[in-house]
Every structure is written in C-alpha cells, then in structure tokens.
Structure 1
Amino acid sequence: MTPIPPALDYVATIEVEVSPTIEIGTTAQGIRRVAPIRGGRVVGPGISGKVLDAGADFQRYPTSDLAYLEANYVLELDDGHRILVENQAIRSADPADLNRMMAGETVDHSRVYFRCVPSLSADDSGPHAWMNRTMFLGTGERLTGGVRIEVFRVR
C-alpha cells in the first residue's frame, strides 16, 4: 500500500508588526531576544481581522546560521471572535544574512529557510472551532518591522 501524502489548503496570511527587539544577550542556549508584537492584519478566504497589541516573539539563536522562534499572540477577527496563535518556527540562513535580519535589514526571502507550525485555538462553541482540531503549517518572511506568515491547513 502506498502512503498518501498530506495536502495543504491555504488559510490566511498574517502580517505581524513588532516593536524594537529586546536584547537578552548570549545565554547557555545561544543569543536570546524578544520582539514585542504590536499589531498587524490577518487576511484569508474565510477569515480576516487584526493582530492585537498582545504577545511576543521569543527568539533563540543557538548557532550563527539558525534561529528558533516561538511567537504567541491573539487575532481578533472581523466577526468579533478571537484566535490564540502559538507558533513555533525555524529560520536558517547564511550567517551574514541572519545578522542583517537581526539588525532589522531586509534579506531576500529566497535566501532564507523559514518554516513554522502555528497552532490556532478558537472558542469551541464558535464558528472557528474547526481550528482546534486541525494541524497547520506555514512559511515565513521577515519584513522590516515585522513578519509575514502564510498559513496552510494540513488535510
């Protein structure tokens, strides 16, 4: 029997705006930074709304070419419902490109491997309860002042 690979359906694009990054320094786990999340937009075929001024992106740089990112924030959809986003990501690039990104510069996204596994949590009695029972994958792109995440449902 041949395994059936999963397919992906586009759900939404989330553009997250961040404040200047808070530098923690070099720790036993590598360089640590925190980027406060200050707003943004979410737009997709079935949902649209805004990113609330709540949450942060916790960044860990264990090597010069690798970043582990954990972002937690809230979407408020145009229909009034709220979605909690808990996103784990990996970003890898040439050390010079990663340093440019850490300095806030834009790097051509084709030079960066940026993938994520966002978990979306919604009110289980609301219209977006399906998100609680769905796995999502995404691609990311670092922008000046934020991040763009393309979110896909795994079926």
Structure 2
Amino acid sequence: MTLHPEPQAPALDYVGTLTVHIAEPIDVGPTPEGHRRIIPITGGTAAGPRLTGRVLAGGADFQTLHSRELTELEARYALETEDGAVISVDNAALRSGSPEAMGRLIRGEAVDPAEIYFRCAVRLRASAPAWDWVNRTLFVGTGERYPGSVLVHIFAMG
C-alpha cells in the first residue's frame, strides 16, 4: 500500500439544484438553545443532471438563531422524482453573515448570496431500487435564500 504524502480532497459531482418554496416563518421565540423558528415548505422543484422532480409540500426548516450572525438550519422534506420515486431529504446547514445582511435575510428581504455563508450536509434516502445510489452517497451543498424560496445546490462526494 502506498501512502499519499498529503490527504486527497474528495471530488464533487453536481447532482442538481432544489428550489424550495417556503411560507411565512412560525416564530417560536427565545429558547435555551437560541431563538427558534419553523419555516413551512410548500413545494418546489429539483433540476439537474442526476436529480429531476418536484419538492413535495409538508416539510419544514427548523431554525435556531444562535446570534445575529449565525443561524443553524435543519430542514426535512420529501421530493418526488420524475420517475415517481419519493426521496427523503434531511438538510443540516449553517448560514452566517454580517448582522446587517442576516437581519435583512431574516426579515425576508433580498440579500446578495455573496454576502452570506450558506453551506449544508444533505442526506438523501430512497426505497426505489433505481435510487439506491443516494443511500450510499454523501452529499454537500451550498444554499441561497431569496424571498419566498431557498436554492440548494447539491454535490455528491466522490
């Protein structure tokens, strides 16, 4: 066995982009862990070279605002592929930026994605045999928040 002198970063393959439509936040308020919000997911689309379909209504993004600069997100929802398979999506993310940019974002205003660090670890699960590859693959992504929607660009780790 030959050891590499330096660790090799995994390759990333673009899978697709989820456009997730969202409703008005449900404000839980301050808790011991931070300020909590629940963002209902109302639908959306999936488009890309390896993932095409629609985001199903009924999921939610559970947010913890740790500070004016940092929000932790845990979104859970489902998508239906164009061949009819249903895939469960668990998306754990961190979103941070300046207090001003994050304030605009939380108020639902448009913010240039370059002003916000939005990275995620996406776990996909499926029962359909044609989609078993998602059960055995780790995914990472980048996100963009817009008024009324969130874009999640998903990459498979090679």
Q: Structure 1-normalised TM-score?
A: 0.97
* Distance in 2 of aligned mates of 1:105 and 1:118: 25
Alpha-carbon distance, 1:27 to partner: 1.2
| Structure 1, unpaired ranges of 5+ | none
Q: Render the CA deviation track for 1:68-98: whole Å, top value 9, x for unaligned.
A: 0000000011100010000000000101111
Is 1:70 equivalent to 2:40 in the alignment?
Answer: no
Alpha-carbon distance, 1:47 to partner: 2.3
* Distance in 1 of aligned mates of 2:74 and 2:51: 23
* Equivalent residue in structure 1 for 2:105, among 101, 107, 114: 101
Paired residue for 2:137?
134
- Residues 1-155 of structure 1 correspond to what in structure 2 (within 5 A)? 1-2=4-5, 3-123=7-127, 125-155=128-158
Instruction: For 1:110, give the aligned amino acid.
Output: A
* Distance in 2 of aligned mates of 1:89 and 1:130: 22
Percent identity, please.
Answer: 45
* Distance in 2 of aligned mates of 1:97 and 1:46: 33
* Distance in 2 of aligned mates of 1:96 and 1:47: 35
Q: Render the CA deviation track for 1:16-41: whole Å, top value 9, x for unaligned.
A: 00110000111111111000000000
| Structure 2, unpaired ranges of 5+ | none
* Distance in 1 of aligned mates of 2:50 and 2:113: 26
* Distance in 2 of aligned mates of 1:68 and 1:35: 13
* Distance in 1 of aligned mates of 2:119 and 2:46: 18
Q: Structure 2-normalised TM-score?
A: 0.95
Residue 122 of structure 2 aligns to a residue whose secondary structure is strand
